[in-house]
Structure 1
Amino acid sequence: MKAKVVGIGIVVLVIVVGLVQLLRPLPNPQLTLQGAAESVVPGKAQFSFPGEGQSAVAVTGVGLMGATANQTPVPIASLTKMMTAYVVLKHHPLLEGEDGPTLTMTAEDEALYKKDKAAGDSVVKVVAGDKWTERQMLEGLMLPSGDNMAMTLAKWTAGSESAFIKEMNDTAKQLGMNNTTYADVSGVNPASRSTAVDQLKIADAAMQIPAFRDIVKEAQATLPGAGTVYNVDYFVGKNGIVGVKTGSTSQAGGCFVSAMYHNVGGKQVLMLGAVLGQHGGQPLMSALKANLTLLQEAGKYITTSSISKGTTVGSASVPWQSPVPLQTSEDATYIAFPGMTVTRKLVGNNLQVTAGEQKITVPLTQAEQLKKPSLKWRLMRLS
């Protein structure tokens, strides 16, 4: 009798173990990347950086191509106005071709114009009672680089200069401009300081706004009371330059953040250059010429890199079957330049590629379907 009970117990145990084995969740497929997870685009980009000051070159949405080593904060003069315009447009967005709300200039605005003019600052003429649209105010800010218009815009947007400056600095932090401090809205104050690399960050953000792009590529504009005003950026519209902002004071020297489009594989890519602290000869012209050279050099290094459909990039494996190749199910292309870091990883049914600041997701397909495990494997599995 005892033996019979033991036998029944063993049978029950076997049945229970078998059921447990059959009901256990199957392991997820293990994904294995083929090739290096991180690589660097071969070669080295060589730039003719000026011997003085600091410089940097970047591709919008792609990343920093090169920069001088001395990225320490220095006065940036009217480059400050890029952030001023950016904050205004965040508060008062303009659609492409839209003029925006109208503001009537006050006696205080006119007095500010006369005060700044007497001080020898860069100004745009303002007459009390004249009506300016938002677009015209931004043109007055960015083209003739009106210091007085910077103050008018700041008070209109935030109520006071101090409140506007706080927002400028908060925005700088949000954009990762960790070496930038704004002390005023125009750049007259030498305590408004930044680096070439940081100035490319605000230029990148601002140039993503269509209204900003439209304004900074203008060679001239007609404004109320002021008549025709001209862009201090003498190079705009020439040699492919489409902006962005000049700056020049005795403390800052000649400064320029420039922009130029370059055709890469049928796609228009925006390149940005920054040159700060040019003091010899004609400081501003030196900054303008240096930027043109940097952007022309950058264009020679920018290429495209492709991942073709059907490329095997890894494998999926399960314990009961040989690994199955994972292949891209569509073509993918990204912008590349020498020295750029490219990382790859498998996530679910996708290959995720990070190329500089670009993030590309490429769908994957299995070369063959993963099979279900056999009954024998499921009963005999140990893990």
Structure 2
Amino acid sequence: MSAASPKPRPSVRVYRRRRIVVFSALAIVLALLTTGGFYTANALGAPIPAAAPQVTDPAPVVAAPQALALPGFGSYAVGAVGFDGLLAAGNEQDPVAIASITKVVTALVVLEEHPIATGQGGPEIAYTDADVAIYWDMIAQNGSVAPVQAGATLTLRESLEAMLLPSGNNYAISIANWAFGSVDGFLERARAWLDAHGLVNTRLADSSGLSLENVSTAAELVQLGEIALENPAVAEIVATQSVDVPELGTLKNGNKLLGTHGVDGIKTGTTDDAANLLFSADVPVGSSSVTVVGVLLGGATHAVLNDAIAALLDSVAPGFHEVAPLEANQTLAEYETPWGETARARTTGGASVVVWSDTPVDVEVHADPVTLADRGDEVGTAVVRAGSQEITVPLVLDASLTDPGAWWRLTNPGALDPARVAQSGSE
């Protein structure tokens, strides 16, 4: 009987098993490279599937409607610079005599022909006996006037101050004569200017507003007020309480609301039957402010008119509020690749908008499918909309999505199916 063969030592068995596993894996790879060359080439060169974003869509922000103290008389309209439409209105399309609000048109038409540089007085105007005669004619017609002296020379700015602050009808006529040769020449140019600005329902019969045939609508006067505030010279003059002109003395603004309730303009208008005011006001809102422009026509007196405008403005102001629907670094989409990598799409910055009353603020998220991308790559946008306001904020990745490598490609044949890849990329 032969002697039994010695049993292999445990360490030898472990070594042999490891060697079998390694060689088996190598055999598989060699088999793929040799006998499965077509599959291997396709797997290593096939496009990888895109990771579709899982989007977080923020809910719209909507405040409660703002209650307003509306006038119980006349025609009125209130708007705000940069905001669509009117915030409040009543009888806003009815043609109404606008009296000395006409002088705002006169100033703008003259300044289009003879602009004044910032900080300058503009061209000089020599006043004569003819201008003194105009002064006495306005007195005879019970029109408002500002003093004038034959032989005096005023800058255009000083002349406009005499026309707009104490509402000097005589200066409205004298300036029109100087700029266009006659009031008729002014009216021809004014009609073209009004048409060019879409103020088709505003009609003028003179440059001062003395005639009741100077008419407009409350809706168009709000547009006129916004245009006036875009002109630096006009905006500065109508916001002035008083000014000293050496040849004329102190000229005081007839707008008694100026400096109260945020009011910083624009122009009074008075007929025998009604008090009117085209007004502007600055309303602080968060870190910014809003310019409100409005008009109220048809007050029994200026005191009644001013009380109604003050109440209206005090009720309008709280209706503006700042909304911040997006924060910086806010996650709005998430990605996960089939091979296990993850990344998030974050906002590059925050966004805030000032809105009126119950105007909804909505965020629309656009995130693209991603295959390979580096950290910081832009992958979409978040669009904030509030009325006509629109703010676009880029979205960027907070981590890289890298190639899965050869091993994953070779061992995940189903994930690289061309039809599946095409469908993933189109989602």
TM-score by length of 2: 0.69
**Match for 2:244 among 214, 222, 247?**
222
Equivalence for 1:272 = 293
* Shift, 1:169, TM fit: 3.8
Between the aligned partners of 2:286 and 2:221, the Cα distance in structure 1 is 28
Between the aligned partners of 1:204 and 1:119, the Cα distance in structure 2 is 31
Check conservation: 2:261, 2:313, Cα contact below 8 A: no
Equivalence for 1:186 = 208
Residue 110 of structure 2 corresponds to residue 91 of structure 1: no
Check conservation: 1:41, 1:336, Cα contact below 8 A: no
Between the aligned partners of 2:86 and 2:334, the Cα distance in structure 1 is 34
Unaligned segments of structure 2, at least 5 residues: 1-45, 47-51, 336-342, 367-378, 404-408, 410-415
Check conservation: 1:113, 1:123, Cα contact below 8 A: yes
Q: 1:109 to 1:242 in 2, by over 3 A?
A: same
- Equivalent position SS for 1:68: strand
* Shift, 1:213, TM fit: 2.3
5 Å matches for 1:277-316? Answer: 277-278=298-299, 280=300, 283-306=301-324, 307-311=326-330
Q: 1:342 to 1:117 in 2, by over 3 A?
A: farther
* Shift, 1:76, TM fit: 1.1
Q: 1:210 to 1:160 in 2, by over 3 A?
A: same
* Shift, 1:207, TM fit: 1.6
**Match for 2:352 among 318, 330, 333?**
333
* Shift, 1:246, TM fit: 0.6
Provide the aligned length of Structure 1 versus Structure 2.
Answer: 355
- Equivalent position SS for 1:138: helix
Q: How high is the sequence identity, in percent, across the aligned residues?
A: 30
* Shift, 1:130, TM fit: 0.7
* Shift, 1:366, TM fit: 5.0
* Shift, 1:225, TM fit: 4.2
Write out per-residue CA displacement over residues 90-136 of structure 1, whole angstroms, 9 at most, x where no aligned residue: 33333443222211113332222221121111111222221111111
Equivalence for 1:7 = none
TM-score by length of 1: 0.76
> Counterpart amino acid of 2:396?
T
* Shift, 1:248, TM fit: 0.7
* Shift, 1:249, TM fit: 0.3
> Counterpart amino acid of 2:141?
A
Between the aligned partners of 1:356 and 1:313, the Cα distance in structure 2 is 22
Equivalence for 1:9 = none
* Shift, 1:245, TM fit: 0.9
Cα RMSD for the two superposed structures? 4.0
Write out per-residue CA displacement over residues 233-269 of structure 1, whole angstroms, 9 at most, x where no aligned residue: 1222344322211111025x11112222222113233
5 Å matches for 1:114-129? Answer: 114-129=136-151
Equivalence for 2:40 = none
Q: 1:169 to 1:309 in 2, by over 3 A?
A: farther
Equivalence for 2:101 = 79
Unaligned segments of structure 1, at least 5 residues: 1-21, 23-28, 317-323
Q: 1:84 to 1:342 in 2, by over 3 A?
A: farther
Largest Rg, 1 or 2: 2
Write out per-residue CA displacement over residues 199-237 of structure 1, whole angstroms, 9 at most, x where no aligned residue: 122212222333222211222223354322221112223
Equivalence for 1:56 = 77
5 Å matches for 1:238-277? Answer: 238-250=260-272, 253-277=274-298
Check conservation: 1:62, 1:355, Cα contact below 8 A: no
Check conservation: 2:102, 2:208, Cα contact below 8 A: yes
- Equivalent position SS for 1:309: coil
Check conservation: 1:67, 1:197, Cα contact below 8 A: no
Q: 1:162 to 1:366 in 2, by over 3 A?
A: farther
Whose strand proportion is higher, 1 or 2?
A: 1
Between the aligned partners of 1:40 and 1:169, the Cα distance in structure 2 is 44
Check conservation: 1:221, 1:229, Cα contact below 8 A: yes
- Equivalent position SS for 2:297: strand
Equivalence for 1:168 = 190
Q: 1:289 to 1:309 in 2, by over 3 A?
A: same
Equivalence for 2:228 = 206
**Match for 1:195 among 214, 217, 221?**
217
Residue 157 of structure 2 corresponds to residue 138 of structure 1: no
Q: 1:265 to 1:110 in 2, by over 3 A?
A: same
- Equivalent position SS for 1:190: coil
